[in-house]
Amino acid sequence: MTKEEAQGATEEEQQAQSKKGQKKQQKEAEKAAKKAEKQAKLAAEQQSTEEDDFAKDRYGMPAMVQSQQKLDRALVRVQDLTPERADQLIWLRARVHTSRAKGKQCFLVLRQQQFNVQALVAVGDRASKQMVKFAANITKESIVDVEAAVRKVEQKIESCSQQDVELHIERIFVVSQAEARLPLQLDDAVRPEAVGEEEGRATVNQDTKLDNRVIDLRTTTSQAIFRLQSGVCQLFRDTLTTKGFVEIQTPKIISAASEGGANVFTVSYFKTSAYLAQSPQLYKQMCICADFEKVFCVGPVFRAEDSNTHRHLTEFVGLDIEMAFNYHYHEVIDSITDTMVQIFKGLRDNFQTEIQTVNKQFPSEPFKFLEPTLRLEFTEGVAMLREAGVEMGDEEDLSTPNEKLLGRLVKEKYDTDFYVLDKYPLAVRPFYTMPDPSDPKYSNSYDMFMRGEEILSGAQRVHDAQLLTERATHHQIDLEKIKAYIDSFRYGAPPHGGGGIGLERVCMLYLGLHNVRQTSMFPRDPKRLTP
Amino acid sequence: SPTFSSTTLKGTTDLDTLLGKDHGALRDIVINANPAQPPLTLLVLHSLLCQRYRVLSTVHVHSSVASVPPQLLSCLGPRHADSYARQLFQLGFTLIWKDVPKLQMKFSIQNMCPIEGEANVARFLFKLLAPYPGDAALATSVDSWVDTAFFQLVEGSAKEQAAVLRALNSALGRSPWLVGPEFSLADVACYCCLLRSGSASVAPANVQRWLKSCENVGHFGSAKALLQ
């Protein structure tokens, strides 16, 4: 190619470009004209609506609620909208879950927490054409105040929780408007994975849900999960309080790691450094030495394990128990297992709606348990595993797959999802674990399992300062750092034992969910620090 | 009247021979029973087993059952003083009150399917106490009486029950126990089923005499207590 030719070619290109440019400009001009026309039309319409809209006081966007006035208006809860309220005129505040305009009427689904109801604005003597249009244009997730008449319906509304009534809206005001684009659709977030795949419809993956946790928490599933979680906490507290336990608060910033130094967060503490508590272990024991006899503690627990699994978090809520006993640490096991059984019973009897709501999205078998709780010994567990073909040493700890397998074997024989494994090998437990008097290879320690996964680790603790020092030395722990702890046993300490449960794990396993992040409101793991 | 001693049930006590190799763990027999139909025969056999072996007995309530009357919770007697150490026992007897349509036994889950029906479980448990008669005719006769007890005395019509009472009466006219010279599972099953059917009071003379002999054996107490 010569230089001229090359130039010619570029000129041609430029010409072509300018031609394109002209066309583009023309198009844009047309577009602008259309837009202007549209706007003019809209303005005209608006004017006309303003002129002849008889219902203009019945809808709109009132001023922001800055507590200007204290209305004496009773707002009815969506869940209370039953046929008994038929033909009453009521006010309620709810979110617009969906809206669907259809000619002269607009159907809305109004949602309040896990309940929803169908509402209808229809052109008539109460609502104008403009009002229906306004209702149809309210963005999803906006919060509205609605005055409406409750009407019974002939046919059950299958898609709503309030199936027997609908609302005929007479007034509608937007209290808080949501942005038009939502980062995720609530309906997509509650769709069971299997259904999504089958129908080729969208489901939302875990990370998107967690990134937009505030919206995800509005789903019926999340609402149910966290109501149930609150129930677990309350049942835990109620049961233990009835048993004569005292709730204590312990510091989370501590000077020494309680369970091995590896997985502990270090924080700078003025001119020195401190740790975030891995468990309230040492403090609840000190409370026992201080004559509190039976204590429990609900609070955050930190683990700096860099494990990205379905069941590990770096911060979770620990439910911890410690109690003095008379002669045998099984008194402690009995107390803890009974507490767990009371929790399971309470959930079974009082949270059936929540359990079923979660089951709709994440189907699972109902949680089964025995009362009193089944207790097996470690050697029995090992024998069951060996019978099933697993090779393992006598003093070897259970690996996670073996734990799950043992859970399946126990479920097959005893049909329980909850059991205790007692008498672990001493070698695999922390230094403060009391050795078994009849066989020093074993210890007075136990784990509790739900659906084959460990939820609680506990033991009788060494309450004798001398033995404790021996055990700590054996574990090569710096005695200087745990001096205060060991000293607390020098002045008379009762025999005692206890254990700690992870709240999130209990909820996850009770509901048969697959990821502990689902039962943590704002989960923390090695890769997630927000929201 | 015939006397009974534990030597009447002679046989092997070697559980390794009966149940296979010892894996170093408690051999736990799990029985799922519906609280609406307490398995009386199994309670009697439990009592006999306790006499022969160190048995760890536990009663549980499965979550499928809302509540269970207190006498069902204590039907295996008071808790053994050593029950904190499972390893000290030869045999576990774990009774679980559960919403099951048919009584069920689970033992060695790797090698055995669950055994259904109180009669079949009773046969299994009795073999841990005494071998069946070596004579095939006698062994079949025991099995036949067990079937008669469960199918005709418990589930049968009044007419069928009356027929069984007549058969029992004539059999007990010939020998002190139902099958042969020794107390057997046939006696346990028929006694318990007669009690459950409520026809013990109208039983003819030989049967009455035999009922007394059974009671003298001394293992029917817990079963009787449940019916009151």
Residues A190 and A320 in one domain: no
Measured from the Cβ of residue B14, the count of other Cβ atoms closer than 10 Å reads 8
Q: How many CB atoms are located within 10 Å of the residue B111 CB? A: 8
ipTM: 0.90
What are the structure tokens assigned to A284, written together? 């609840």
Residue A39 resides in a domain: no
Rounded to a whole number of angstroms, the distance between the first and last alpha carbons of chain B is 27
Residue A397 lies in a domain: yes
* pLDDT, greater one: A56 or B14: A56
Residue of A371, A380, A382 lying closest to B61 (CB–CB): A371
Query: Considering the domain boundaries, does residue A527 fall inside one?
Result: no
Q: Is the pLDDT of residue B194 over 70?
A: yes
pLDDT tens-digit profile of A131-159? 999 999 999 999 999 999 999 999 999 99
Q: Which tokens belong to A120?
A: 């209808």
Measure the CA–CA gap between A132 and A103, rounded to whole angstroms.
Answer: 9
User: Which tokens sit at A214?
Assistant: 């505030």
Among A119, A152, A176, identify where a domain stops: A176
A93 contacts A62 by C-beta, under 8 angstroms: no
Confidence of residue A263 (pLDDT cuts 50, 70, 90): confident
Mean pLDDT of chain A: 91
Q: Is the model's pLDDT at A261 over the cut of 60? A: no
CB < 8 Å to A328, chain B: 84
Within A89-190, strands assigned E span 89-102, 105-112, 115-122, 143-152, 165-176
Region at A488 (left for phi over 0; alpha for psi -120 to 50; beta for the rest): alpha
Option in B62, B84, B86 nearest A380 (CB): B86
Residue found under tokens 């023309």? A26
- CB pair distance less than 8 Å for A409 and B109: yes
Whether A391 is catalytic is: no
Q: Which of A13-17, A53-57, B30-34 has the highest mean pLDDT?
A: B30-34
> Cβ contact (<8 Å) for B84 and A330?
yes
A-chain CB neighbours of B61 within 8 Å are 370-371
Judge: B60–A388 Cβ closer than 8 Å, yes or no.
no
Nearest to B60 among A348, A370, A382 (CB): A370
Query: Do A231 and A288 lie in a common domain?
Result: yes
The residues in A 320-379 lying below 8 A from B, measured between CB atoms, are 328, 330, 344-345, 348, 366-372, 374-377, 379
Catalytic residue among A58, A93, A171, A311: A311
Same domain, A203 and A153: no
pLDDT, tens digit, 9 for 90 and up, residues A241-258:
999 999 999 999 988 776
B80 CB near a chain A CB, below 8 Å?
A: no
CB–CB of B87 and A387 under 8 A?
no
The structure tokens 């139902």 sit at B178
Residue of A nearest to B22 (CA): A383
Query: pLDDT of A430-458, one tens digit each?
Result: 999 999 999 999 999 999 999 999 999 99
- My answer on whether A196 and A320 are in the same domain is no
Query: Average of pLDDT values for A117-127?
Result: 93
Phi and psi at residue B33, to the nearest 5°: -130, 145
Q: Alpha helices of A144-302 — where are they, by DSSP H?
A: 186-189, 193-199, 206-211, 213-216, 220-242, 281-289
Domain of A398, CATH number, reads: 3.30.930.10
Choosing from A457, A488, A496, A504, the catalytic residue is: A457
Q: A416 contacts in B (CB within 8 Å)?
A: 62-63
Q: Does some domain include residue A238?
A: yes
Strand A496-502 with A453-460, pairing: antiparallel
Whether the per-residue pLDDT at B12 is higher than 60: the answer is no
- pLDDT, one tens digit per residue, over B142-183 is 999 999 999 999 888 889 999 999 999 999 999 999 998 888
Set of chain A residues whose Cβ sits within 8 Å of the Cβ of B30: 413-414
Per the annotation, the verdict on A517 as an active-site residue is no
* Judgement on whether residues A112 and A241 belong to the same structural domain of the protein: no
Q: Looking at A176, A199, A234, which one is the last position of a domain?
A: A176
Are residues A331 and A423 both part of a single domain? Answer: yes
Closest-CA distance, B23 to chain A, in angstroms, reads 6
Answer with the residue of higher pLDDT: A129 or B80. A129
**Which residue in chain A is spatially nearest to B60 when comparing CA positions?**
A371
- The conformation of residue A458, written as its DSSP 8-state character, comes to E
What percentage of chain A carries pLDDT values higher than 90?
Answer: 76
B22 to chain A nearest CA, in Å?
9
- The whole-angstrom distance between B69's CA and the closest CA on chain A is 14
- Is A354 found in the same domain as A337? yes
B70 touching A (Cβ < 8 Å): no
Instruction: Summarize the confidence of residues A4-11 as an average pLDDT.
Output: 56
Spatial CA neighbour of A471 closest among A444, A508, A511: A444
- pLDDT higher than 50, residue B2: no
Q: What percent of chain A has pLDDT over 70?
A: 94
User: How close is the nearest chain A Cα to the Cα of B55, in Å?
Assistant: 15
Any CB–CB contact under 8 A between B79 and chain A? no
Average pLDDT value over all residues in chain B? 87
Look at residue B60 in the predicted model and tell me its pLDDT. Answer: 96
* pLDDT band for position B7 (cuts 50, 70, 90): very low
Q: Is A333 within 8 Å of A460 (Cβ atoms)? A: no
Element (H, E) at A130: helix A129-137
Interface A:B, Cβ pairs < 8 A: 63
- Does residue A485 form part of some domain? yes
Cβ-based contacts of B108 with chain A (< 8 Å): 387
Task: Please state, in angstroms and rounded to a whole number, the distance separating the CA atoms of residues A516 and A507.
Answer: 8
Give residue A36's Cα distance to chain centre: 49
Confirm whether A281 is domain-assigned: yes
**B24: nearest CB among A370, A383, A412:** A383
**C-alpha count within 13 angstroms, C-beta hemisphere, residue A168:** 16
- Domain boundaries, position A209: 186-218
Note whether B214 and B48 are within 8 A (CB).
no
Q: Do B86 and A369 touch (CB under 8 A)?
A: no
Is A419 found in the same domain as A512? yes
Quick one: which of A361, A455, A387 has its CA closest to A417? A455
Nearest to B30 among A379, A388, A413 (CB): A413
Taking an 8 Å cut-off on Cβ atoms, the answer to whether A380 and B26 are in contact is yes
Name the phi and psi angles at B190, rounded to 5: -65, -40
DSSP label of A179: P
Alpha-carbon span B181 to B174, nearest angstrom: 10
Q: Closest chain B residue to A389 measured between Cα atoms?
A: B110
Distance of CA B41 to CAs A111, B46, B108, B187, Å? 58, 9, 22, 10
Q: Is residue A18 part of a domain?
A: no
Residue B5's pLDDT band (cuts 50, 70, 90): very low
Q: How many residues can be counted in chain B?
A: 228
Rounded to the nearest angstrom, the gap between the alpha carbon of residue A356 and the centroid of all alpha carbons in its chain is 16
Sign of CA pseudo-dihedral A358, A360, A363, A369:
positive
Question: Catalytic: A505?
Answer: yes
The whole-angstrom separation of Cα B151 and Cα A136 is 70
Tell me if A500 sits within 8 A of A319, measured CB to CB: yes
H helices within A200-295, ranges in order? Answer: 206-211, 213-216, 220-242, 281-289
Q: Same structural domain for residues A94 and A241? A: no
The domain tally of chain A equals 3
Read off the pLDDT band of B219 (50, 70, 90): confident
A394 touches chain B (CB under 8 A): no
Report pLDDT for A332.
Answer: 96
> Over 60: is that where the pLDDT of A178 sits?
yes
Residue B6 carries which side chain, given as an amino acid letter? S
Q: What is the DSSP letter of A499?
A: E
Over the range A217-238, which residues count as b (16 or more CB within 10 Å of their CB) and which as e? Answer: bbbbbbbbbbbbbebbbebbee
Judgement on whether residues A210 and A321 belong to the same structural domain of the protein: no
A379 and A507 in a common domain: yes
Asked whether the beta carbons of residue B24 and residue A379 sit closer than 8 angstroms, the reply is: yes
Whether residues A460 and A441 fall in one domain? yes
Residue of A nearest to B107 (CA): A413
A344 or B11, greater pLDDT: A344
Asked if residue A33 belongs to a domain, the reply is no
User: Is the model's pLDDT at B1 over the cut of 50?
Assistant: no
Put simply, whether B27 touches A (Cβ < 8 Å) is no
Best B58, B61, B63 residue to mutate vs chain A (most A CBs within 10 Å): B63
In angstroms, the CA B154 to CA B119 distance is: 12
Work out whether strand A453-460 and strand A253-254 pair parallel, antiparallel, or are unpaired: unpaired
Q: Are A232 and A341 in contact (CB under 8 A)?
A: no
Q: Shortest Cα distance from A374 to chain B (angstroms)?
A: 8
Find the farthest-apart pair of alpha carbons in chain A and give their distance in angstroms, rounded: 106
A123, A144, A176 — which closes off a domain? A176
**Can you give the pLDDT at residue A200?**
82
CA of B60 vs chain A CAs: smallest distance (Å) = 5
